[in-house]
Amino acid sequence: MEMVRILHIIAGILIAVSGLLQILLKKGGKLHRVIGTVYFLVWPIVVITGWILGSFLIAMLGAFGFYMAYTGYRFGRLKSTKINSVDKWMIVSAVILSIMIFVFGIYLLLFDKNNFGIILVFFGVIFSSITIRDSNGYIRGKLNRKMSGDPMEWFFEHFGRMYISYIAAMTAFTVIQNPFPFFVVLNWILPTVIGTGIIIFTSRYYRKKYKIDIPSQ
């Protein structure tokens, strides 16, 4: 078990470093692809070792983070939003898992009187909203995205999803390490607040750079 813990720590450090480098360094090029591949390949290790260590929290955030990393990585590799049968299987599995997380959170709140259910409901709503949207768009063909059909859609999906996966990783880290013991809720929301700000800034930067005008819906 000690070896599993050490492996989990090493994998977590690799995700933290490689994820940060993806944000800071220039997009595109061989270095970006190598770092992104390392980031993606380490995610399953974090999820599996976290599950073995018995942390439901890590497993929950890990599943969400891995799904976003997987879909983001696929869009980046293919430079397209087209998907194959494996991708469809991944989306369906993620839909089922996200709904299970939400339902389990409701169960904890109603029958176990456990406040941890609030967290599960919160992440369950976010996770299921993304996966159900993906199911409708990429499996059922009912796209409802502002950039649907735009040649650069894959790029924005790519970095947005990779960034969200990094937010999940950093949330797991801050919650477990508890850097704000006197204001615990900050451990949960700070990575999301900072990460969302970075996503908005990056999106606006590249929309301006590529002269993309996204209509409101």
Cα-based distances in Å from 89 to 12, 93, 161, 195, 212: 26, 6, 18, 28, 32
Query: What's the CA gap between 101 and 108, in Å, rounded?
Result: 11
Instruction: Judge whether residue 199 has pLDDT over 90.
Output: yes
Residue 217: pLDDT band by 50, 70, 90 thresholds? very low
Q: Where are the domains of the chain?
A: 2-209
Tally of CB atoms within 10 A around 117: 20
Mean per-residue pLDDT, 154-175: 92
Which of 3-17, 59-73, 130-144, 156-170 is predicted with the least confidence, judged by mean pLDDT? 130-144
DSSP 184-199: THHHHHHHHHHHHHHH
Rounded to an integer, the average pLDDT of 8-20 is 95
Q: By mean pLDDT, which of 61-70, 108-117, 123-132 is the weakest?
A: 108-117
Region of poorest pLDDT, from 44-48, 70-74, 138-142: 138-142
Query: Any residues with CB less than 8 A from the CB of 158 and at least 6 apart, and which?
Result: 72, 73, 75, 76
The distance of Cα 140 from the centroid of its chain, to the nearest Å, equals 22
Residues 160, 94: Cα–Cα separation, whole Å: 18
With a cut of 70, say whether residue 143 has pLDDT above it: no
pLDDT level of residue 216 (50, 70, 90 thresholds): very low
For 80-115, the pLDDT digits (tens) are 888 889 999 999 999 999 999 899 889 989 988 777
What pLDDT band is residue 151 in, cutting at 50, 70 and 90? confident
- Contact in structure between 168 and 67 (CB atoms under 8 Å): no
What pLDDT is attached to residue 128? 94
Residue 80 CA to residue 97 CA, distance in Å, equals 26
pLDDT, average across residues 169-177: 89
